[in-house]
Structure 1
């Protein structure tokens, strides 16, 4: 289990803990589990869809969003994949040519929220990510934007190597696949 660290400490980050687990389940598939521990009444989640399937959407990071960044290497000038999954199942995947450059929808990756559990003291989300490029990815950054009940947001990652919260910084892609 890996603890994701908040970029800045707040009253909410003192009582909410974010952890993740990585499962490589096939050559083209990774499952990420996100555990949010603490009083979940302080967390804000996008509304569940009623009778509708999840959809591919932009700007999921504007509220609670579970994210992963896959890279072939740590070179800032090389391509990488960003995956976003909302706790309501909406998702997106973006390919980048290099650090924050050439962003486009990745048409080969699929993202599915395959488990959601919400209790008073813990929320658990399991996200399946499939991509034909998965066997070539060597580094993974695990991140989460967490919105709290007062509308504030915190940015959680395995590490925060720069002076600002920057999930695209490959120095934070610290999990080796």
Structure 2
């Protein structure tokens, strides 16, 4: 299991976020997000039933997984809400197509999404995605990020921020490789 301390875009150090990635064979991905919020600034969305697919989850507290393929422009964005709602979007290249909400993708499946006492625990099945594009784990790289709605405003966390504004779609910031 690899872990990454996610960095706040505006150096907001009151909350700390760690993301962890674990490959499970043959095509399962386990992801955990651990949060430390001693002042309880985070606003948690209300829980929904049965893991519905919903758009615009990034408008409140939401965790995101970006899945890129080496040498390719296309990628997937997985949004995971502590409410238990989720969504996967497909992009052909950087933020394209520009639809709002983005175009849903159905080649990644949610296996587990649960809010825990430490943050979030997620299980994703990449079988269809890997088979559709004839990929190996070594072809894939991952970016982890979080949008935290807090009493102090929206805070953006990612593995790194190399753009002048918070931009989770910047592939330079997707640091995990298998």
The answer to whether TM tops 0.5 is: yes
Aligned partner of 1:56 in structure 2 is 53
1:60-110 deviation digits (Å, cap 9, x = unpaired):
0001001010011266xx100000000111000011000001241101211
Aligned counterpart in structure 2 of residue 128 of structure 1, from 120, 123, 126 = 123
Q: Report how far residue 115 of structure 1 moved.
A: 3.2
Alignment of 1:16-165 (within 5 A): 16-39=15-38, 41-49=40-48, 52-73=49-70, 78-102=73-97, 103-118=102-117, 123-131=118-126, 132-134=128-130, 135-136=135-136, 137-150=139-152, 152-165=153-166
State the alpha-carbon separation in 2 of the partners of residues 112 and 145 from structure 1. Answer: 22
Q: TM-score, normalised by structure 2?
A: 0.85
Contact 2:24 2:30 in 1 (8 A): yes
Closer/same/farther in 2, CA of residues 115 and 40 from structure 1, 3 Å limit: farther
* Cα RMSD, aligned residues only: 1.7
Give the 3-state SS of the residue equivalent to 2:40 in structure 1.
helix
Question: After the TM superposition, which of the residue ranges 28-37 and 107-116 deviates more from structure 2?
Answer: 107-116
Aligned partner of 2:171 in structure 1 is 170
Aligned partner of 1:14 in structure 2 is 13
Contact 1:113 1:125 in 2 (8 A): no
Contact 1:28 1:133 in 2 (8 A): no
Q: TM-score, normalised by structure 1?
A: 0.86
State the alpha-carbon separation in 2 of the partners of residues 8 and 90 from structure 1. Answer: 27
State the alpha-carbon separation in 1 of the partners of residues 106 and 32 from structure 2. Answer: 23
Q: Report how far residue 160 of structure 1 moved.
A: 0.5
Q: Report how far residue 41 of structure 1 moved.
A: 2.1
Q: Report how far residue 46 of structure 1 moved.
A: 0.5
Q: Which runs of 5+ in 2 are unaligned?
A: none
> How many matched pairs?
165
Give the 3-state SS of the residue equivalent to 2:96 in structure 1.
coil
Q: Report how far residue 28 of structure 1 moved.
A: 1.9
